[in-house]
Amino acid sequence: MSSTSPQDQGLTRELLLAGGLREHIQRTSPEMRVLTDEERAESLAALLADRPEHGDGVWVFAYGSLMWNPAIHICDRRLARAVGWRRDFCLATRGGRGTAENPGMMLGLEPGGECHGAVLRVAEADIALELDLLWRREMVASGYIPRWVPVQDEQGNDLGHAIAFTINPDGPSYCTNLPEAELVHRLATATGPLGRASEYLFRTRDGLRQMGIIDPMLEQLGEAVAELQRELKILT
């Protein structure tokens, strides 16, 4: 087994194919229950059994790191918004971009409002392999509930449904309504095998900016985190 960590090479397609992400989560967070291969396969099969549209592929809704590091093969990409869901830092991470002593925070989709991001198209012929890789990435544990959500383009035209990883409010890592000071501190200081929590924040904010999308919550958090890092002399 390779001794290279996800942080050394980034969250890559090769790492997912080799099962490296799961191995590192198990090693760095032994208290976390990870899904078995069978449970992960059952989750994916159940979602595809409820597929609302059939044709030339499926959409995946990207609202966080999938926007700037999808690590799966796609055949199309468009600006989109998920109707009825909003982006929020509500998932504590103790094995990705944080530790048990200093958990980081990652984004999830919470009910209500709307979320601007992108949809990524997986070709019909690639669904089995690419969605398996996606599940290896997003469904290591029980933090998310994958579901089909309605999506629209930026002009409000219906694009059908996309796979989205919504937050699991019953999951052990669900963490909502943190005081802003605590959230900023975690994002500014937490680091783990996948890197810094602040990098996740900054790259998501910047990825949205590059698409012409300004998310006020991410902009405000970005300013506060950068200021705290300067105060603490944290090099990024």
Point out which residues pair with 115 in neighbouring strands.
82
- Are 224 and 230 a contacting pair, CB within 8 Å? no
The C-alpha atoms of residue 65 and residue 21 are separated, in whole angstroms, by: 15
Contacts of 8-13 with CB under 8 Å at 24 or more apart are 10/69, 11/65, 11/69, 11/71, 11/137, 11/194, 12/71, 13/71, 13/72, 13/133
Residue 138 designated active-site = yes
| Domains of the chain and any CATH numbers | 10-176 (3.10.490.10)
DSSP class of 236: -
Q: What are phi and psi of 178, to 5 degrees?
A: -65, 145
Per-residue pLDDT, 5: 36
Catalytic residue among 14, 53, 138, 219: 138
In terms of C-beta density within 10 A (0-12 exposed, 13-18 middle, 19 or more buried), how is residue 2 classed? exposed
Give the DSSP per-residue string, 17-34.
HTTHHHHHHHHH-TTSPP
Per-residue pLDDT, 15: 86
The C-alpha atoms of residue 121 and residue 125 are separated, in whole angstroms, by: 12
**Sequential pLDDT tens for the chain (236 residues):** 333 333 434 688 998 988 877 777 767 666 777 899 999 999 999 999 999 999 899 999 999 999 999 999 999 999 999 999 999 999 999 878 998 899 999 999 999 999 999 999 999 999 999 999 999 999 998 999 999 999 999 899 999 999 999 999 999 999 999 999 999 999 999 998 888 999 999 999 999 999 999 999 999 999 999 999 999 999 87
